[in-house]
Structure 1
Amino acid sequence: MSRLVLATLLSLCLAPLAPRAEATQVTTLIAEKAAANADGAMPANASYDVTLQTTSPTQAELVSAFWMDPATGQFAANVVTSDGETRRVYGMAVLTVPVPIPTHRLMPDTILNKADFRVVPLPYQRLSRFTITDIKQLAGMQVRQVLSADRPVLTQQVSPPLVVDRGARVSISYNHGRLTLTAPGRAITGAEAGQTVRVVNLASNRTVTGIARPGGIVEVTQ
């Protein structure tokens, strides 16, 4: 054997082997495949909750083939295990979204805060387009309809707090150029800040319409 051939064989023997892919939880691999197949259609904060058949391997190096029914979440996949064996796995991949739900029953007129909620993952396809999924949109809001415990909140069930309550005493501020006059009044309707509200001027017994401001003030411009 020539020295060149011997050196070549020796270099091949001493060359480091290509690193194998690390074994990963099959549920993680399937969730990544499902998200990739969604092609950007899934909400930014959504993820896939994957359930495997009990006979499926729990770890694998990669997914070599993947099929999924987007409507039901049922999938079939071929995964390659660490010993090089290809195994077929089946299960469900459900797209879920973290949703704030009340921890207790909340009555109308309650001002909400984050402590009133806990965040749980819920199936995206079961949510209404009116479902509030960001807890930041709930803090400081006022309840309009009873909120049941452990049920998602809909946009029509809450609103910004009223600054003028129906039947409440208000201060009517008349603005005409540089001239400002005030008069006592009583609200006929309720209103949020910046909304129009009808009030009775208690000094003249006339009904006027103005803009509700914080502090029970109604601005009327003439």
Structure 2
Amino acid sequence: MRYLAAILTALVMLAGPALSASVNVLIEERARADYGSDLPDAGDFDITVKDTLQGEVAALAEFWMDPRTGKFLANAVLNTGDVQRISGLAQITIPVPVPNQRLLPGEIVDEADLVIAHLPIGRIGSYAITNPAEVIGKQVRRVLSQGRPIQAQSIIQPLVIDRGDRVDIHFSDGLLALSSPGRALSDAHRGQEIRIVNLISNKTVIAVATGDGTVEIKR
């Protein structure tokens, strides 16, 4: 091992400053190689070395890592030629939009309500939204906590009709246009089908929500 360390140190010294790098860079290079294609495109590394280094690290002679936990163990070759065993964490982080304040059901998410946080992938979950564009303009369905990833099921398209609302029912076949008052039997966002009670005929019809308090019966 001492012989290998000496060779690695000599190679770094011969190559000059171009090959010198911080220990974090060296660890990230090896960690990326271990993850391979499993590393998310937007993934980055948050690296923590638990041990106090006894000198400048010239290279890593050996590197072992558990991709599930991010725990690593390495033999660091110091610029003195000595080898030091180091350990720590190399956690994958993903940039995700999170609320900068608590958002309540019914509120519409605005760009100013969000910040980008780099969170460990293990804290995000498979249903967390990573693209801010998929959040902005949506309506909060379940309470969104400050600093926590936003789950897809916690937001919806903004509702234009709430259950029990009085609505205007419109029908047109190109020649004849009719309108009638109705009452919504469920919630609906724009473009969603909804059951409506026609308050004149007292019959239930299926219509499409077209705007605030308006629905249209399609032919």
With the shorter chain as reference, the TM-score category is 0.7 to 0.9
Matched-pair identity in %: 41
* C-alpha deviation, 1:220, in angstroms: 0.7
1:65 to 62, 66, 80: 62
Distance 1:86 1:76, change over 3 A: same
Distance 1:142 1:114, change over 3 A: same
Alignment match, 1:96? 93
3-state DSSP class of the match of 1:91?
Answer: strand
Distance 1:173 1:50, change over 3 A: same
* C-alpha deviation, 1:63, in angstroms: 2.9
Bigger Rg, which one: 1
Alignment match, 2:214? 217
3-state DSSP class of the match of 1:90?
Answer: strand
| Letter of the structure 2 residue corresponding to residue 192 of structure 1 | H
| Letter of the structure 2 residue corresponding to residue 161 of structure 1 | P
* C-alpha deviation, 1:22, in angstroms: 3.9
Distance 1:28 1:129, change over 3 A: same
For residues 100-158 of structure 1, give each alpha carbon's deviation from its aligned partner in whole angstroms, at most 9, with x where no partner exists: 22222211110001211222222212332111222221100101111122222211111
Distance 1:53 1:88, change over 3 A: same
1:126 to 102, 120, 123: 123
Alpha-carbon distance in structure 2 between the residues aligned to 1:203 and 1:179: 18
Alpha-carbon distance in structure 2 between the residues aligned to 1:59 and 1:141: 50
Alignment match, 2:182? 185
Verify: 1:24 aligned to 2:21, yes or no: yes
* 1:10-159 mapped onto 2 (5 Å cutoff): 19-56=16-53, 59-82=56-79, 85-159=82-156
- Dislocated runs of 4+, deviation >6 Å: none
Alpha-carbon distance in structure 2 between the residues aligned to 1:141 and 1:205: 34
Alpha-carbon distance in structure 2 between the residues aligned to 1:23 and 1:77: 17
* C-alpha deviation, 1:177, in angstroms: 5.1
| Letter of the structure 2 residue corresponding to residue 66 of structure 1 | F
* C-alpha deviation, 1:20, in angstroms: 4.6
| Letter of the structure 2 residue corresponding to residue 202 of structure 1 | L
TM-score by length of 1: 0.82
Distance 1:137 1:58, change over 3 A: farther
Maintained 8 Å contact 2:111/2:136:
yes
Maintained 8 Å contact 2:45/2:92:
yes
Maintained 8 Å contact 1:35/1:47:
no
Root-mean-square deviation (CA, aligned residues, Å) is 2.2
TM-score by length of 2: 0.83
Higher helix share: 2
Query: After alignment, is 75-84 or 166-175 more displaced?
Result: 75-84
Alignment match, 2:7? none
Alpha-carbon distance in structure 1 between the residues aligned to 2:20 and 2:80: 10
Unaligned residue ranges in structure 1 (runs of 5+): 1-16
Alpha-carbon distance in structure 1 between the residues aligned to 2:62 and 2:218: 69
| Letter of the structure 1 residue corresponding to residue 32 of structure 2 | A
Alpha-carbon distance in structure 1 between the residues aligned to 2:147 and 2:15: 51
How many equivalent pairs are there? 206
